[in-house]
């Protein structure tokens, strides 16, 4: 026969076991919460001529969460595509990249950026000419600035090009998203996009610039 003390002991042990489980669950929840709160994203803004052509290369990178076409480095609030394309607002077509720095670094984004622009063209990019198509790195913080300037110095020191590199490195300003029909254009209108890209001579020029 189980004595009262034994019953109380068993009950106490059971309560201790349940309490341990609850404490363990609480620790897991807290750890999960700390993981979520510690995870962060960063922004990068690059310009490389037609923004349609700049989304795809970054979308392919693991760690890139989203890309968005828009306008930056101008003096008109909430500009429209028609205003920017006329070249009177000071903006350039650009792409905003949201990324997880634990999965992809800003330095990796810079490598993709350089390989998708013509750094020697001061008049625009490929078949698109005008300041609204100028290439640039629009850094969001001092760390990005240092990385951008370092990557530019490395490219200059490589002596790959005989002509001067004219790509802009500027502190980021307001980024205005472009109209909806411009977003993910290369996915929504693949035939028109490929025709534009081919007729603009973009890939031919990139091959000439960057092929080993």
Query: Could you give the number of structural domains in the chain?
Result: 1
| pLDDT number for residue 24 | 52
For position 168, which CATH number holds?
3.30.1060.10
Task: Classify residue 29: in a domain, yes or no.
Answer: no
Residues 52, 183: Cα–Cα separation, whole Å: 8
> What domain range is 109 assigned to?
42-210
| pLDDT number for residue 32 | 43
Task: Classify residue 183: in a domain, yes or no.
Answer: yes
Task: Classify residue 194: in a domain, yes or no.
Answer: yes
Q: Is residue 127 among the annotated active site residues?
A: no
| pLDDT number for residue 212 | 78
CA distances, 118 to each of 21, 115, 129, 195, 201 (Å): 60, 8, 12, 20, 12
**CB contact at 8 A, 95 and 69:** yes
Provide the residue-wise pLDDT of the chain in tens; the chain has 212 residues: 443 333 433 444 444 444 454 445 444 434 444 333 346 999 999 999 999 999 999 999 999 999 999 999 999 999 999 999 999 999 999 999 999 999 999 999 999 999 999 999 999 999 999 999 999 999 999 999 999 999 999 999 999 999 999 999 999 999 999 999 999 999 999 999 999 999 999 999 999 999 97
Claim: this prediction has a pTM higher than 0.85: no
| pLDDT number for residue 135 | 98
Active-site residue, selected from the candidate residues 50, 53, 127, 200: 50
Q: Which residues pair with 168 in a beta bridge?
A: 136
Within its chain, how far is the Cα of 100 from the centroid? 9
| pLDDT number for residue 116 | 98
CA distances, 77 to each of 49, 69, 90, 173, 182 (Å): 21, 16, 11, 12, 19
CA distances, 44 to each of 11, 37, 96, 204 (Å): 59, 21, 6, 27
- What's the length of the chain? 212
């Amino acid at each position: 026969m189980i004595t009262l003390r034994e019953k109380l002991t068993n009950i106490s042990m059971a309560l201790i076991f349940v309490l341990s489980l609850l404490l363990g669950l609480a620790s897991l929840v807290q750890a999960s919460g700390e993981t979520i709160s510690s995870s962060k994203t960063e922004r990068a803004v690059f310009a490389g001529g037609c923004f349609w052509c700049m989304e795809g290369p970054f979308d392919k990178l693991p760690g890139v969460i989203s890309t968005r076409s828009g306008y930056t480095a101008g003096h008109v609030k909430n500009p429209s595509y028609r205003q920017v394309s006329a070249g009177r607002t000071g903006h350039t077509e650009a792409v905003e990249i949201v990324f997880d720095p634990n999965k992809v670094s800003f330095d990796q984004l810079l490598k993709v950026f350089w390989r998708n622009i013509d750094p020697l063209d001061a008049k625009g990019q490929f078949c698109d000419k005008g300041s609204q198509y100028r290439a640039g790195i629009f850094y969001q913080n001092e760390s990005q600035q240092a990385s951008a300037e370092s990557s530019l110095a490395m490219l200059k020191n490589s002596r790959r090009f005989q002509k001067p590199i004219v790509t802009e490195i500027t502190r980021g300003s307001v980024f205005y998203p472009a109209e909806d029909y411009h977003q993910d254009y290369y996915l929504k209108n693949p035939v028109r996009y490929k025709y534009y890209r081919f007729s603009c001579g973009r890939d031919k020029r990139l091959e000439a610039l960057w092929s080993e």
